[in-house]
């Protein structure tokens, strides 16, 4: 019947319904919207669909091709799983933020031009900030502000790049950049994308903010922000060699930190950096096989990383902490959380029969076949580190390692387990039916994952990693420590800015005030003397009425000014959406 229904529509309407309906009823709307999104993705036809006129530009909001379809497919599925996992959450603002966040992700996926992309990009950034803030503890408020500031920086890089590009090329069309003729605007746009893809050293926002997000918010965030960035990098910057190197470094950097981290959700956050590294490396190598590998890995990753965050979130929800040093011995009381977590853990580690095996080995083999042997070896090292920290260390110290600490546990709602089972079964299904995934990919797949050699190699690598952990198990005991990362430098920059404000700008301001008081005011008084006559004689009568109105508006505005950045941001975002909506309907 219809060729294309934009999934963003479902999520925007769902956000409004959640707001309007009473809480218990409203919660059921987002999973239904996500199911409709699955349906719309499964039925949509390839091609360029919806075009809008906005600000005198033609915006393409519905570009559907094989590449956007892979990502839309898994985004829709993970949205269903995520909203089922969040079904017990009482706070309607969390559901609304998640809806708008996913609406933005779909907007980016189908965007055919940079303006649409930028608008949706910023929508994601704002609404995901709320998924951090809505945990409503001081640590998350601070982390959310840092998160938002950093993403604003990324957004500005993207904006600068796309405007310069428009000036040079006269188009906003979102097409692949040429790796052999790189312009400044390409670099700016790529840097903007790299912020969201958590490419080192621009990654530190991720392990900073994700562990402070709400239990369910982190499940959503683990799926959409970095993978949207992977998608736009795939579309725009395939074959940029620097990405191959940076991606491999990311895989190593992430596992290095995951080995020493204590907070379960931070370990998983570092593993996003590591896993996205495989995708970025695949994009950088840029052969058909590694591009397919990057897409396949993104698909598999969204499912198992969501499941890992659900497992760790269940620990946090039940025990009130995600710190391994405070957990341990919980197997008897949380066996199912362990079971589903382990399905995801063997998937991310690339065990045969599970999803990571059919996607990760594709990227590595692809890199090796393109004669990037060092990149392939780097990714194998990271594969060892992945199993070491996510596959063994985290579950061992959370569920075993010592007697049950006996802390009271919050009962875990059934919907959380249902969502975990859905994710787990999908990880297994993709592992045994790789064709399901391969036929979604942009290039025809010749790679065969289940050869005796691939299986044996994986088992050798992972089995002896296990032996390594066994030898080091006392040394690897998690410690309640904070590990410095690049955010140390971000904070230095922020402090430097504060120093400039405090000492230099304040001085300038004082000087200007003084200057104004001595010189400016005298002159103004003279002029004022002249105009006072005219004012008294004529204008007073007219203005008085207006003044009273202005004061009334002012009083109204004071009520809205709570002095909290969150509130302003929400107001600005809502206002922006309203204006956008108006323009849309009035065009």
Partner 1 sequence: MSHEPEHTHDQPAQPPQGGAKGLKKLMFVSLGVLVLLNVLIQVPHPHFDLEKLPGFWALFGLIVAVVLGKLAKGAAHTFLGKDEDYYEKRG
Which stretches of the chain bind partner 1, using CB under 8 A? 255-257, 259-260, 368-369, 373, 376, 380-381, 384-385, 388, 451-453, 456-457, 459-476, 479-484, 491
> What are the φ/ψ torsions at residue 199 (nearest 5 degrees)?
-75, 130
Tell me how far apart the alpha carbons of residues 49 and 60 are, in angstroms, rounded to a whole number. Answer: 8
Considering the complex, state which of residue 470 and residue 585 has its C-beta at the smaller distance from partner 1: 470
The 3-state DSSP class for residue 299 equals helix
The smaller minimum CB distance to partner 1, of residues 381 and 432, is found at: 381
Query: Given the complex with partner 1, which of 192 and 395 has the nearer CB atom?
Result: 395
First to last CA, the chain: 26
Q: List the structure tokens of 376.
A: 């392939």
Residue 476: count of CB within 10 angstroms of its CB: 18
- Shortest distance, position 485 Cβ to partner 1, whole Å: 8
DSSP type of residue 229: H
- In angstroms, what is the minimal distance from the CB of 582 to partner 1? 43
Would you say the C-alpha torsion 19, 20, 26, 30 has a positive or negative sign? negative
- Which three-class secondary structure string do you get for 236-275? HHCCCHHHHHHHHHHHHHHHHHHHHCCEHHHHHHHHHHHH
Nearer to partner 1, 149 or 578 (CB): 149
**Distance between CA atoms of residues 198 and 279, nearest Å:** 12
Task: In angstroms, give the least distance from the CB of 476 to partner 1.
Answer: 6
Closest distance between partner 1 and the C-beta of residue 577, in Å? Answer: 34
Query: To the nearest whole angstrom, how small is the minimum distance from the Cβ of residue 393 to partner 1?
Result: 9
Closest distance to partner 1 from the beta carbon of 556 (Å): 37
Which residue, 171 or 457, is less far from partner 1 as judged by CB?
457
Name the residue nearer to partner 1 (CB basis): 400 or 568: 400
Give the nearest distance from C-beta 380 to partner 1 in angstroms: 7
Nearer to partner 1, 156 or 480 (CB): 480
412 vs 462, beta carbon nearer partner 1: 462
Provide, rounded to whole angstroms, the least separation between the CB of residue 453 and partner 1.
6
- State how beta strands 47-48 and 63-64 pair: antiparallel
* Minimum CB distance to partner 1 smaller for 402 or for 507: 402
Long-range contacts from 119-127, C-beta under 8 angstroms, 24+ separation: 119/580, 120/8, 121/155, 121/158, 121/196, 121/228, 122/155, 123/573, 124/224, 124/225, 124/228, 125/151, 125/152, 125/154, 125/155, 126/100, 126/569, 126/573, 127/97, 127/98, 127/100, 127/101, 127/573
Q: Spell out the residues 6+ positions from residue 438 whose beta carbon is closer than 8 angstroms to its own.
A: 292, 296, 358, 445, 447
Shortest Å distance, C-beta 115 to partner 1: 38
Which residue has 């849309």 as its token pair? 584
- Token representation of residue 260: 């020493």
């Amino acid at each position: 019947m219809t060729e294309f229904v934009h999934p963003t529509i479902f999520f925007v309407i769902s956000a409004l319904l959640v707001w309007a309906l009473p809480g218990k009823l409203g919660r059921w709307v987002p999973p239904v919207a996500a199911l409709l999104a699955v349906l719309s993705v499964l039925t949509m036809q390839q091609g360029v669909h919806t075009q809008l006129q906005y600000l005198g530009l033609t915006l393409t909001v519905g570009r559907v091709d094989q590449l956007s379809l892979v990502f839309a497919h898994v985004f829709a599925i993970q949205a269903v799983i995520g909203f089922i996992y969040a079904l017990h959450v009482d706070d309607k603002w969390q559901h609304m933020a998640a809806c708008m966040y996913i609406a933005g992700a779909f907007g980016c996926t189908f965007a055919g031009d940079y303006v649409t992309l930028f608008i949706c990009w910023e929508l994601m950034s704002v609404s995901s900030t709320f998924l951090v803030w809505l945990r409503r503890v001081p640590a998350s408020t601070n982390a959310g502000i840092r998160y938002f500031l950093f993403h604003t920086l990324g957004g500005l890089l993207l904006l600068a790049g796309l405007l310069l590009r428009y000036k040079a090329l006269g188009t906003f069309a979102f097409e692949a950049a040429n790796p052999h003729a790189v312009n400044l605007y390409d670099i700016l746009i790529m840097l903007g994308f790299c912020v969201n893809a958590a490419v080192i050293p621009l990654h530190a926002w991720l392990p900073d903010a994700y562990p402070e997000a709400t239990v369910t918010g982190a499940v959503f965030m683990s799926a959409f922000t970095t993978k949207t960035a992977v998608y736009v990098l795939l579309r725009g910057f395939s074959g940029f060699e620097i990405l191959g190197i940076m991606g491999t470094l990311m895989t190593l950097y992430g596992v290095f930190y995951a080995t020493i981290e204590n907070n379960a959700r931070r370990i998983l956050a570092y593993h996003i950096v590591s896993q996205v590294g495989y995708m970025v490396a695949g994009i950088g190598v840029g052969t058909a096989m590694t591009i397919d590998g990057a897409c396949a890995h993104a698909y598999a990753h969204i499912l198992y990383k969501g499941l890992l965050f659900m497992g760790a979130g269940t620990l946090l929800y039940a025990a009130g902490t995600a710190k391994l040093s405070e957990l341990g011995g919980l197997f008897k009381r949380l066996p199912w959380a362990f079971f589903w977590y382990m399905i995801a853990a063997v998937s991310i580690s690339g065990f045969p029969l599970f999803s990571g095996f059919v996607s990760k080995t594709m990227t590595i083999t692809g890199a090796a076949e393109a004669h990037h042997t060092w990149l392939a070896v780097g990714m194998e090292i990271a594969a060892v580190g992945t199993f070491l920290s996510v596959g063994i260390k985290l579950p061992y110290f959370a569920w075993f390692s010592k007697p049950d600490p006996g802390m009271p546990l919050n009962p875990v709602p059934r919907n959380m387990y249902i969502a975990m089972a859905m994710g787990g079964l999908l990880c297994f299904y993709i592992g045994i039916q790789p064709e399901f995934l391969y036929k979604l990919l942009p290039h025809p797949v010749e790679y065969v994952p289940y050869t005796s050699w691939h299986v044996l190699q994986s088992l050798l690598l992972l089995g002896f990693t296990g032996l390594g952990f066994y030898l080091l198990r006392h040394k690897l005991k998690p410690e309640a420590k904070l590990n410095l990362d690049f955010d140390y430098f971000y904070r230095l920059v922020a402090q430097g800015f504060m120093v400039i404000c405090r000492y230099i700008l304040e001085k300038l301001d004082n000087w200007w005030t003084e200057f104004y008081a001595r010189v400016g005011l005298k002159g103004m008084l003279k002029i004022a003397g002249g105009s006072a006559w005219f004012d008294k004689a004529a204008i007073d009568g007219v203005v008085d009425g207006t003044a009273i109105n202005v004061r009334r508006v002012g009083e109204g505005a004071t009520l809205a000014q709570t002095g909290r950045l969150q509130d302003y941001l929400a107001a600005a975002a809502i206002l922006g959406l309203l204006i956008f909506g108006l323009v849309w309907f009035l065009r």
